[in-house]
Amino acid sequence: MVSRRTSPNVVTYSALISGFCIVGKLRDAIDFFNKMIFENINPNVYTFTILVDGFCKEGRVKEAKNVLAMMMKQGIKPDVVTYNSLMDGYCIVKEVNKAKKKCIANKFFRSTLIDVLCKSRRVSYALELVDEMHDRGQQPDIITYNSILDALCKKHHAGKAIALLTKLKDQGIRPNMNTYTILVKGLCRSGKLEDARKVFEDLGYNLDVYAYTVMIQGFCDKGLFDEVLALLSKMEENGCIPDAKTYEIIILSLFEKDENDMAEKLLREMIMRGLL
């Protein structure tokens, strides 16, 4: 490559570092990382994450944390993959509690860690972290709670999600529209359509298009097209215009149930509105 006067760049180095990590040659990966630094080629979030993951897979969490510190010092923000790799490393060396304790003191770290835990379906760890935060007088915000509610719903623990929502309301934390939409979607996925409908109706009239679309999806999944069309009409009466996704969900569901005439009617309506 160099002999052809093609200079290696961050993509080239990242690919090589990744390859060495995959085959277990971490020492070579580190050498190439140092080489790219020496040649003034700046690593990006992907490069750093490869190294964090490589160290963690060998249980070398301390070195992984050093890479993370270097990354942040250079102004590069770790992403969910980076933190997930670090959590995996802590799990490998059985130091999950240490990871949680180190992150509790830092608002950015704790919120990110909870989000990572939720996305990794490690909801029990996330809930433990929230409890520890409460013990320290630290109050998670609604965004953090929404991550936990979403994870609970995706694991079909709708009952636990409702209990958590009740708990946070008792603590004076005000749910937002996203909170309720997550719950409605989770209840629909769990087959609890009537519970979802009740939560949805309690929200009132000032809803966004996503909230309506989630409820419409729930009705579509059950083939309740009279309910779908009624809600579609109510949606517009309340000044919320359906978007392409709303129409797509309804039309595809109608075609799947051989309700072709209604599907074609809505398809024409969608085209007239410039949504297709």
State the helix-helix crossing angle for 45-57 and 26-38, rounded to 10 degrees: 150
- Predicted TM-score of the model (pTM): 0.65
Least confident of 12-21, 33-42, 98-107: 98-107
Higher pLDDT, 114 or 27: 27
Least confident of 43-52, 96-105, 121-130, 230-239: 96-105
Least confident of 35-49, 55-69, 227-241, 243-257: 55-69
For domain 121-202, give its CATH number from 1.25.40.10, 1.20.1440.130, 3.40.50.2300, 3.40.50.1820: 1.25.40.10
Q: What pLDDT score does 243 carry?
A: 94
Q: Is the pLDDT of residue 245 over 90?
A: yes
Q: Is the pLDDT of residue 1 over 60?
A: no
Q: What pLDDT score does 132 carry?
A: 76
Q: What pLDDT score does 268 carry?
A: 93
pLDDT (mean) for 138-167: 87
Q: What pLDDT score does 95 carry?
A: 60
Q: What pLDDT score does 187 carry?
A: 93
- DSSP letters spanning the chain: -TTTT----HHHHHHHHHHHHHTT-HHHHHHHHHHHHHTT----HHHHHHHHHHHHHTT-HHHHHHHHHHHHHTTPPP-HHHHHHHHHHHHHTT-HHHHHHHHHT-HHHHHHHHHHHHHTT-HHHHHHHHHHHHHTT----HHHHHHHHHHHHHTT-HHHHHHHHHHHHHTTPPP-HHHHHHHHHHHHHTT-HHHHHHHHHHT-S---HHHHHHHHHHHHHTT-HHHHHHHHHHHHHTT----HHHHHHHHHHHHHTT-HHHHHHHHHHHHHTT--
Distance CA 189, CA 161 (A): 13
- Domain 1-94 belongs in CATH node 1.25.40.10: yes
Looking at the chain, how many residues does it have?
A: 276
Measured CA distances, 30 to 43, 85, 127, 142, 249 (Å)? 12, 17, 36, 40, 49
The dihedral formed by the CA atoms of 21, 26, 28 and 32, expressed in degrees to the nearest 10: 70
24: which 2 tokens?
């277990």
For residue 45, which phi and psi values (nearest 5 degrees)? Answer: -60, -35
pLDDT band at 61 (very low <50, low <70, confident <90, very high): confident
